Chain A
Amino acid sequence: MTAAVQFQSVTRHFGPIRAVDGVDLTIAEGAFFAMLGPSGSGKTTCLRLISGFEKPTGGTILIHGQDVSDVPPNRRNVNTVFQDYALFPHMSVRDNVAYGLMVKGVDKRARLDKAEELLSLVKLPSYGDRKPGQLSGGQRQRVALARALINEPRVLLLDEPLGALDLKLREAMQDELKALQKRLGITFVFVTHDQHEALSMADSLAVFNDGKIAQIGTPEDIYARPQTRFVADFVGSSNVLPPALTKALGGPAEWASLRPEVVRLAPSGPKGTVTAVRYLGSGSRVVLRMGDTEIAAFVPAGEAVPEQGTEAAISFAPSALHLMGQV
């Protein structure tokens, strides 16, 4: 199968700043792919490179096997859902959705029918006459989706589309987006800085740092087997253990990562001083200082939580210790 999007040693420099630095990437057709990373890591620039609003300084970008270096954004068969939705405020919802067909010169009746169809798809069938200003954040997000889908793109780019929504609505939209992607079968490329969002929605994801891909893989790979200290730290706030501590905890003298949720308090074992306790609802997160390193452990609800400043011992399954090839 041809990849939906392929980056071959792609770079994008802005003067001395290397926003994207030698990225190789393959996004399978029909995948829900997430680009995850902190602000300034290059993920949004990669999205703009795919959409055609940025041109690579070096390397090649292929969309469905075609080199798109000289192809303008509207000929790439991709579309974007913008972070702030970019709905035209002076147009009705229906006209916003139909805009893509209007500029193509599609007959008015046909394009408005199609717009209604798309509005039904995003569960807003009776909202066509409203203006974007009369909609809630979640509704605007759906309209933006409908507008981006009306030209039937083969790749849909989503630039932190859930960032402006409150937590409850964001979770509901995550499920809806995932379901919609499965139903349509098109490739979704989703940019986010929210690791939970990326892990829960994506089929595969790339973690970006300093313009490079720090790791690429399935959510499970990224979460359970981080290859670098950055990935371990950024995705799920893992405990990153220096070689000496790894050795003290029973492993080889290598950098390792250890997920807080697999570390429990125990009557005996390696000890540390409790420096912080945070209640999480389903349990508590207890931070212990062991030498120069802080280790976070999870105490399930109902179990005794140690006081700050006291000593506590930890335990974990040896298999939970993930050794990292590099740091």
Chain B
Amino acid sequence: MTDMTMTNTRATRLRRLNLAGGIITGLTVLGAIIWAFPLYWAVITSLKVEQDVLTPGIQLLPERWTLDNYIHVLTKTQAGIWYLNSLVTSLAVTVIVVLTSAAAGYAISQLRFPGRRLLWWLLLASFMVPIPALIVNHFVLMADFGLLNSWSGVVLPQLIAPVTVIIYKQFFDSVPKDFREAALMDGATQFQLFFRLYLPMNWGITTALAIITFIGAWNQFLWPFLAVTSESKMNITVGITQVYDAFGVRYARDLATAILAGLPLAILYLVFQRRVTQAIMLTAGIKG
């Protein structure tokens, strides 16, 4: 009898668990739909003929499918140049930030030199200054250097990356000192230690940081918007605003432009999903 009661209690508990699990799953799916619907709507609208966009009622699928909006943006605007500008500046920011941050992280973590602690505290303190607060200074500085309307002008202010330095320092700190000593006994130089030991041993974090830096640089809007006025030097994020200006409110074309701007990142994310998540978690942890 007692056994039967226990079995019944267990079954009831399992049913409750199943019910709770079902409700949570349902809510999660609902949340995902709510989140994804605007994205879906944008894609669908960009594949519609402009006249159909303003048709009353909700059309979940286009009546007339067309790629004209995409073809127009790619062939009749400077989107190709904007892509190139974005690619060059984002790659430059990524390579320089990763290399300098890794080198700085290595120096602070592994080398002993006067002012090391001060440098570390300065890095930590730099969190307290929001980047937008520096934007006027950056603008004046770039103008004085004559770097406005240039790739260098877009890139340079984006190279301030204390979070990346801190993450590298923490990872280099965690490398057991035996590795370092084993290499030093064999006569390895600091250069060899950095490039042949510390960087390859932390390749995972380097990939993650490179991806997140690239995404950040690609998505930059405010600074490239201020630093560049010449249409041929614009990044894709700034360039799409020109499409809007030139043709007025044309929803299908505007959304096609926006989707084209975000497409490389979406692909990048899909390919390196795990690394991106890792990097976001790391930077979130540092930023608290």
Task: Tell me the nearest residue of chain A to B181, going by C-beta.
Answer: A53
Q: A2-10, A82-90, A188-196, A235-243: which lies at the B interface?
A: A82-90
Cβ-based interface call for B282 (8 A): no
Tell me if B183 and A73 are in contact (CB < 8 A): no
Q: Which of A30-89 contact B (CB under 8 A)?
A: 51, 53, 73-74, 78-80, 82-84, 86, 88-89
Assembled-state Cα–Cα distance A147/B203 (Å): 23
Number of interface residues of B (CB under 8 A): 17
Cβ-based interface call for B197 (8 A): yes
**Shortest Cβ gap from B211 to chain A (Å):** 20
What band does the interface of chain A fall in when counting residues whose beta carbon is under 8 Å from B?
20 to 34
Contacts of B203 in A (CB 8 A): 90
Contacts of A73 in B (CB 8 A): 181, 184-185
**Shortest Cβ gap from B18 to chain A (Å):** 41
Tell me if A88 and B186 are in contact (CB < 8 A): no
Cβ-based interface call for A275 (8 A): no
Supposing A89-B201, A90-B201 touch, asked if A80 and B185 sit within 8 A by C-beta, the answer is yes
Cβ-based interface call for B66 (8 A): no
Interface centre among B178, B187, B189 (most CB of A within 10 A): B187
Assembled-state Cα–Cα distance A89/B185 (Å): 18
Tell me if A88 and B201 are in contact (CB < 8 A): yes
Cβ-based interface call for A223 (8 A): no
Tell me if A99 and B179 are in contact (CB < 8 A): no
Assembled-state Cα–Cα distance A102/B185 (Å): 13
Contacts of A86 in B (CB 8 A): 176, 178-179, 181-182
Tell me if A99 and B178 are in contact (CB < 8 A): no
Assembled-state Cα–Cα distance A51/B200 (Å): 26
Supposing A88-B197, A90-B200, A103-B192 touch, asked if A82 and B184 sit within 8 A by C-beta, the answer is no
Task: Tell me the nearest residue of chain B to A75, going by C-beta.
Answer: B187
Cβ-based interface call for A284 (8 A): no
Cβ-based interface call for B43 (8 A): no
Tell me if B201 and A99 are in contact (CB < 8 A): no
**Shortest Cβ gap from B181 to chain A (Å):** 6
Contacts of B185 in A (CB 8 A): 51, 73-74, 78-80
**Shortest Cβ gap from A114 to chain B (Å):** 13
Task: Tell me the nearest residue of chain A to B197, going by C-beta.
Answer: A88
Q: Which of A75-131 contact B (CB under 8 A)?
A: 78-80, 82-84, 86, 88-90, 99-100, 103-104
**Shortest Cβ gap from A163 to chain B (Å):** 13
Assembled-state Cα–Cα distance A100/B200 (Å): 17
Contacts of A51 in B (CB 8 A): 181, 185
Contacts of B181 in A (CB 8 A): 51, 53, 73, 80, 82, 86
**Shortest Cβ gap from A75 to chain B (Å):** 8
Assembled-state Cα–Cα distance A51/B181 (Å): 10
Supposing A73-B184, A74-B187 touch, asked if A88 and B192 sit within 8 A by C-beta, the answer is no
Query: Could you jot down 29 A-B contacts, CB within 8 Å?
Result: A53-B181, A53-B184, A73-B181, A73-B184, A74-B184, A74-B185, A74-B187, A79-B185, A79-B186, A80-B181, A80-B185, A82-B178, A82-B182, A84-B178, A86-B178, A88-B179, A88-B182, A88-B183, A88-B201, A89-B201, A90-B200, A90-B201, A90-B203, A99-B183, A99-B186, A103-B186, A103-B192, A104-B187, A147-B182
Chain A residues close to B by CB (< 8 Å): 51, 53, 73-74, 78-80, 82-84, 86, 88-90, 99-100, 103-104, 147, 151
Shortest 5 CB-CB distances between A and B: which pairs?
A74-B187, A86-B178, A100-B186, A86-B182, A82-B178
